[in-house]
Structure 1
Amino acid sequence: MSPVVELRDITKVFPGVIANDRISIQFYPGEVHALLGENGAGKTTLMNILYGLYPPDGGQIFVRGRPVDIKSPTDALSHGIGMVHQHFMLVPPFTVAENIILGSEPKKRRFFLDMERAVADVEALSSRYGLKVDPRAKIQDISVGMQQRVEILKALYRGAEVLILDEPTAVL
């Protein structure tokens, strides 16, 4: 079996600091990995490189054996890589469904938001992954733990096969 994602010799340098120095790691289907280290060790930097928020200064990223150039989160998602950030990126007055579909809204008659389909899609996704949420609840009215589920479902809705969780317990 070949890796879904491979980071090979990834290096990132900020002024006066080497954040990542030739990091190599492979991720295979079905595996769970944890990057452990003290604050400032470069964990989040490495995740941000994989998600396209920072360009690497050296090294190469491979997805399904092919070299890729991930320059943005859109690029990462196009390769099946999603990320849940330590600080959530949700719109509090919007509903769970509205947050999950934001930017990838199902349409009816080409221009109109199909909210019924959005709710149905979120319910199906929620059921498929066992992450129960109320698609009609407003983000501002749900717990932090539930908001984290929404962030995970948001990444899965966009097709993430590899899910990066940046300090997932920090907000709980």
Structure 2
Amino acid sequence: MKGVVKRFGELLALDHVDFTLERGEVHALLGENGAGKTTLMNVLFGLYRANEGEVFVEGKPVSIRDPKDALAQGVAMVHQHFKLVANFTALENILLGTGRGLQFDKKAEREKVEKLSQEYGL
């Protein structure tokens, strides 16, 4: 993303944010409550629309107006703990962020998640 601005009325939540994430990289967003971490992710996932700036996927500018657009671009998000479904497994909660709901091959998806978990030491 480049030059992303998000305002809520007079409150400037994101001030010309530039952020690059390459395939396979893992990043952490750190900051105090109210610093804009969740707002940034909500813009990237299409829950909020930026007032200014652009989002790029694979170097090309894209329009992410809602989560459906984000998912179509390969952008998914697992929400913070309070948005998880309590009686679902960790795997099921992760897969909810893909936009496919619970329509998946549980064995194949579990293998993918286990491989990624091992790769990243989780």
Q: TM-score range by the shorter chain?
A: 0.7 to 0.9
Would you say 1:76 and 2:70 are equivalent positions? yes
For the structure 1 residues 96 and 36, does the alpha-carbon distance in structure 2 shift closer, same or farther, using more than 3 Å as the test? closer
Structure-2 residue corresponding to 1:22: 16
2: CA distance, partners of 1:31 / 1:56: 24
Equivalent residue runs for 1:81-92 within 5 Å: 81-86=75-80, 87-90=82-85, 92=87
Secondary structure at the counterpart of residue 77 of structure 2? strand
Ranges in structure 2 where 5+ consecutive residues have no aligned partner: 118-122
Would you say 1:38 and 2:22 are equivalent positions? no
Pick the aligned partner of 2:107 from 111, 123, 135: 123
Q: Which protein, 1 or 2, shows the higher relative CO under an 8 Å CA cutoff with sep ≥ 6?
A: 1
CA offsets per residue over residues 14-40 of structure 1, 9 Å max, x none? 122100000001101221111111111
Compute the displacement of 1:11 (Å): 0.2
2: CA distance, partners of 1:126 / 1:53: 27
Task: Check the 8 A contact 2:2/2:17 in 1, yes or no.
Answer: yes
Please report the TM-score for the alignment, with normalisation by the length of structure 2.
0.78
CA offsets per residue over residues 70-108 of structure 1, 9 Å max, x none? 01111111111110111234374x7889875785565xx
Q: For the aligned residues, what is the CA RMSD? A: 2.6
1: CA distance, partners of 2:91 / 2:32: 36
Q: Which amino acid counterpart does residue 14 of structure 1 have in structure 2?
A: F
Equivalent residue runs for 1:1-172 within 5 Å: 7-86=1-80, 87-90=82-85, 92=87, 100=95, 118=104, 121-130=105-114
Q: Which amino acid counterpart does residue 130 of structure 1 have in structure 2?
A: E
For the structure 1 residues 57 and 104, does the alpha-carbon distance in structure 2 shift closer, same or farther, using more than 3 Å as the test? same
For the structure 1 residues 50 and 21, does the alpha-carbon distance in structure 2 shift closer, same or farther, using more than 3 Å as the test? same
Larger Rg: 1
1: CA distance, partners of 2:101 / 2:31: 35
1: CA distance, partners of 2:92 / 2:78: 17
Percent sequence identity over aligned pairs: 44
Secondary structure at the counterpart of residue 25 of structure 1? coil
